Amino acid sequence: VIEIGQPEHSVVTTCAYCGVGCTFKAEMRGEELVRMVPFKDGKANRGHSCVKGRFAWGYATHKERILNPMVRAKITDPWQEVTWDEAFAHVAAEFKRIQAKYGKESIGGITSSRCTNEETYLVQKLIRAGFGNNNVDTCARVCHSPTGYGLKTTFGTSAGTQDFDSVEHADVVMIIGANPTDGHPVFASRLKKRLRQGAKLIIVDPRRIDLVRTPHVEAAHHLPLRPGTNVAVVTALAHVVVTEGLVDEAFVRERCDWSEFQDWAAFVSDPRHGPEEVEKLSGVPADEIRQAARLFATGGNGAIYYGLGVTEHSQGSTTVMAIANLAMATGNIGREGVGVNPLRGQNNVQGACDMGSFPHELPGYRHISDDATRDIFEKLWGVTLNNEPGLRIPNMFDAALEGTFMGMYIQGEDIVQSDPNTTHVTAALSAMECIVVHDLFLNETADYAHVFLPGSSFLEKDGTFTNAERRINRVRKVMSPKNGLADWEVTQALARAMGMRMDYAHPSQIMDEIAATTPSFAGVSYAKLDELGSVQWPCNEKAPEGTPVMHIGGFAGGKGKFVITEYVPTDEKTGPRFPLLLTTGRILSQYNVGAQTRRTQNVVWHGEDRLEIHPHDAEQRGVKEGDWVKLQSRSGETSLRALITDRVAPGVVYTTFHHPDTQANVITSEFSDWATNCPEYKVTAVQVSPSNGP
Ligand code: SF4
pLDDT single digits (tens) 495-513: 999 999 999 999 999 999 9
Band of pLDDT at residue 59, cut at 50, 70 and 90: confident
Evaluate whether 242 touches 233 at the Cβ level (below 8 Å).
no
Q: Whose CA is nearest to atom 6 of ligand 1?
A: 53
Please spell the DSSP secondary structure of 138-194, one letter per residue.
Answer: EGGGGTTHHHHHHHHHHHSSSS-S--GGGGGG-SEEEEES--HHHHSHHHHHHHHHH
Where exactly does CATH 3.40.50.740 map onto the chain? 70-142+348-519
The reported pLDDT for the residue numbered 211 is 93
Checking if the pLDDT of 79 tops 70, the result is: yes
Nearest ligand 1 atom to alpha carbon 17: 8
Burial readout 564-592 (b: 16 or more C-beta within 10 A, e: otherwise): ebebeebebebeeebebbbbbbbbbbbbb
For ligand 1, mutation pick of 17, 24, 59, 467 (most atoms within 8 Å of CB) = 17
Nearest ligand 1 atom to alpha carbon 24: 6
Where exactly does CATH 2.40.40.20 map onto the chain? 580-690
Please compute the mean of the pLDDT values over residues 224-253 and round it to a whole number: 97
- Considering the segment(s) 145-342 as one domain, its CATH architecture is 3-Layer(aba) Sandwich (3.40)
Please compute the mean of the pLDDT values over residues 206-221 and round it to a whole number: 92
Does the complex come out with an ipTM higher than 0.90? Answer: yes
CATH fold group of domain 9-61: N-terminal domain of TfIIb (2.20.25)
The reported pLDDT for the residue numbered 684 is 92
pLDDT tens string 91-113: 999 999 999 999 999 999 999 98
Q: Whose CA is nearest to atom 1 of ligand 1?
A: 53
Band of pLDDT at residue 5, cut at 50, 70 and 90: low
Question: Where does 45-165 show beta strands of DSSP type E?
Answer: 70-71, 80-81, 107-111, 136-138
CA of 169 to the centre of ligand 1 (A): 22
Q: Whose CA is nearest to atom 2 of ligand 1?
A: 18
Band of pLDDT at residue 633, cut at 50, 70 and 90: very high
The reported pLDDT for the residue numbered 490 is 96
- Considering the segment(s) 580-690 as one domain, its CATH architecture is Beta Barrel (2.40)
CATH of domain 70-142+348-519: 3.40.50.740
- Percentage, residues of the chain above pLDDT 90: 77
Checking if the pLDDT of 3 tops 70, the result is: no
Band of pLDDT at residue 530, cut at 50, 70 and 90: very high
pLDDT tens string 155-191: 998 889 999 999 999 999 999 999 999 889 999 999 9
Q: Whose CA is nearest to atom 3 of ligand 1?
A: 50
Q: Ligand 1: residues whose CB is within 6 Å?
A: 15, 17-18, 20-22, 45, 49-50, 52-53, 184-186
Where exactly does CATH 3.40.228.10 map onto the chain? 145-342
Please compute the mean of the pLDDT values over residues 610-634 and round it to a whole number: 95
Helices (H) and strands (E) in the chain, counts: 22, 28
Nearest ligand 1 atom to alpha carbon 591: 8
The reported pLDDT for the residue numbered 2 is 46
Checking if the pLDDT of 148 tops 90, the result is: no
- Percentage, residues of the chain above pLDDT 70: 96
The reported pLDDT for the residue numbered 1 is 41
Residue 207, SS3? strand
For ligand 1, mutation pick of 39, 43, 49 (most atoms within 8 Å of CB) = 49
For ligand 1, mutation pick of 52, 191, 473 (most atoms within 8 Å of CB) = 52
Checking if the pLDDT of 358 tops 70, the result is: yes
The reported pLDDT for the residue numbered 604 is 53
The reported pLDDT for the residue numbered 593 is 63
The reported pLDDT for the residue numbered 602 is 58
Nearest ligand 1 atom to alpha carbon 18: 2
Where exactly does CATH 2.20.25.90 map onto the chain? 9-61
- Please give the mean pLDDT across all residues of the chain: 92
Nearest ligand 1 atom to alpha carbon 49: 6
Nearest ligand 1 atom to alpha carbon 20: 7
